[in-house]
Amino acid sequence: MIQRIQTVYMILVVLLIGALFVWFPDVKDTAGNALYSINEPLFLILMIASLVLAITAIFSYKKRQKQFVLNRLNILCNFILLGVFVYRSLTVSGETFVSEKGIGMFLPILSIVFLVLANRAIQKDENLVKSVDRLR
């Protein structure tokens, strides 16, 4: 159901995590040390888990509670990804070449915001269905 706003929010999450996967595969500091790289299993697992959870939530539009739970798991996954990004950027000394470090770390924050908006819209739909069921 593409006409539902929560589906649009979840598609934006897929695009943001995909952008993180494609545009920022690795970020290096001035010494050439990798801050984070797509080749590391932790980043790869967290990004793929976030993508799979978002795509699964998009296609489970008939089950709103399942969609809500999948989005909550995706929020948790994005918080862990953000925490790993922050930890890695704070433990490495020096600066990056450009401000890529900040841009790449900003994308999980945006995806968390869109997932929260999607959960609010799902909850609003659920409340609407419950109110209609009471009228019968």
Q: Crossing angle, helix 41-59 and helix 5-23, to 10 degrees? A: 160
Coil, strand or helix at 37:
strand
pLDDT for position 98? 46
CA torsion sign, 81 to 86 to 91 to 93? positive
pLDDT for position 71? 94
Q: Is the pLDDT of residue 1 over 80?
A: no
CA distance 43 to 77: 11
The domain spans of the chain are 5-135
pLDDT digits (tens, 9 = 90+) for 40-80: 788 889 889 999 999 999 998 888 899 999 999 999 999 99
- Which residue(s) pair with 26 in the sheet? 37
Comparing 51 with 136, the larger pLDDT belongs to 51
CA distance 102 to 134: 49
Instruction: With CA atoms as reference, report the closest residue to 46 among 20, 12, 9, 7.
Output: 20
| Helix or strand (DSSP H, E) at 12 | helix 5-23
pLDDT for position 88? 76
| Helix or strand (DSSP H, E) at 134 | helix 100-135
Average pLDDT value for residue range 84-91: 77
16 Cβ partners below 8 Å, 6+ apart?
107, 108, 110, 111, 114
